[in-house]
Amino acid sequence: MTKLPSEDWNVIGIDGPPYPLSRMCSHPTCLDYGSEHHHIWRRSFLGGTYSWVMLPDGTMIGNVLMLCNEHHRQVTENEVQIGWEEDCFFWVADSQELMMLSFQPPHVRPEYENLHHDESTFETAGEKTEPVLDNECPVCRQPLPRPKIQSEKREQKRPRRSWTITVPKDRREDGADTLDTLLEEARLEMDRAGLGYGPERNVRYFVLATVLGLFVQHSRELLGDA
């Protein structure tokens, strides 16, 4: 059974307009065409096939994206998870390393507070119009925007588990490989100096934070030499 992006949210499925989907697989590094539609919040959880979901704060998020056959299999067979963090969807593997999806379904935040008219009629030039419905504007009689749903308890902002950066990827430079190489060289230099973190990938944050901290601390000396 497909894992949910978040287990602790009171998400509901809603009907909504279709939106453009990527022709390519939404996996961050896949170059294959997307051949299968995938519902992020599974149909069995929502109680139906919904292309949109609504979060407790009224935000609406697209619930469909495209995946190639292999990556769709990995998600549906629970080998990986598509998670939701900081308004973005991520590919989450067993290593818990988060990779932002190359295609992000749209999400729409509520723009209007709860609208309600206390008076059921509106007077113009001394004449009374027909009763105004709660979901109508008393002037133009057009439907009002969807009222914002007030959640009883606003969720606290969760700590981020990821930090992303956009890198170049072309014939001249592969930004990801460049950063991997620089981080590994920095780790080796610190290891020679007695600051060993080990070769595991989950220590890369500590290597990067240490390198940036050293640069900030000695920036005048380093930039002066440059």
Q: Rounded distance, CA 101 to CA 66, Å?
A: 11
Taking the CA of residue 163 as centre, how many other CA atoms within 13 Å lie in the half-sphere pointing to its CB?
5
- Report the pLDDT value the prediction gives residue 179, as an integer from 0 to 100: 85
* Residue range 88-96: mean pLDDT, rounded: 80
- Sorted by where each begins, the domain ranges of the chain are 12-108, 112-148, 175-225
Query: Mean of the pLDDT values across residues 161-189?
Result: 81
pLDDT over 90 at 178, yes or no: no
Q: Between 168 and 91, whose confidence is greater?
A: 91
pLDDT class of 218 with cuts at 50, 70, 90:
confident
For the cut 60, the answer to whether the pLDDT of residue 26 exceeds it is: yes
